[in-house]
Amino acid sequence: MVNAIIGKFFIDVIGMNAPMYTMPWALPGPIGAFLTTGLDLRSLVLMAVLLVVDFVIYYPFCKAYDHQLCLEESAKETAGTSDADAIAAQENVAKALEAVKDKAEQIRVLVLCQGAGTSTLLANALREGAAAKGIDLVSQSGAYGSHYETMDQYNVIVLAPQARMYYDAMKADTDRLGIKLLTTRGKEYIDLTNDPEGAIDWIVQELAK
C-alpha cells in the first residue's frame, strides 16, 4: 500500500511517466520499471526510494523474528542441559585447558567469513579470552578466498556461519596440512563473539577432541 501511494505521488506530482508497456513478471524491479515507463530516469529514483522505505518497514519485524528464534534456541539448549551435565562440561573444559597449557604449544587461529567483518569479532574475542586464561594464542581474521597462501601458518581455522558452505571444500586441504577445521552456527557464533572466555573454552575443547 505504501509503495502504491509513493508510486502515485511520483506520477501525479513529480511527473514520472505512468507504466505504458507490459513487461515479463520475472524482470528485476528496477529494470522493469525503467523499461515500462519508457526509459524515464525518475523511475530509477522511485525504485531506490521504495527499497529504502521497504527496508525501514520490514527491518523491525525481521529483528523481532530473529530475537524470537534466538530465545527458542536458547530455551532448547537450557532445557537439554542438566546440572550434572553442566558440572561435567566444566570439568572437561578444565582438563582441556590444562592439557593445552602442558603442551606449551602456541595456538594459531584463522577465522574466515565472507568479508572479514564478523570474523574480526571472533578473532578479537579469542585473543581476549586467551589473555584472561593465560593461553598462548594468536588469532587473525580474513575473508574466504584470501587464505590460500597463509593457511599453513595456522593450526586452527574457524569458518563463520556465512562461510559454512565451504567446509567440505576446505577439509581436504586442512587435513593434508594437519589443521583443525571448525565451524559454527548463527547463535553459537554470536554467543562466542560476546563471550571471550567462552570462545577460548570452545577452541580448547575442540582441540582436545
* Catalytic residue numbers, as ranges: 113
Residue whose grid cell is 592439557: 99
DSSP 201: H
Q: For Cα atoms 62, 66, 68, give the angle at the middle one, nearest 5 degrees.
A: 115
Contacts of 6 (CB under 8 A, 6+ apart): 46, 49, 50, 53
Phi, psi of 141 (to 5 degrees): -120, 160
Rounded Cα–Cα distance for residues 206 and 18 (Å): 61
User: CA-CA-CA-CA torsion for 17, 23, 26, 31, nearest 10 degrees?
Assistant: -40
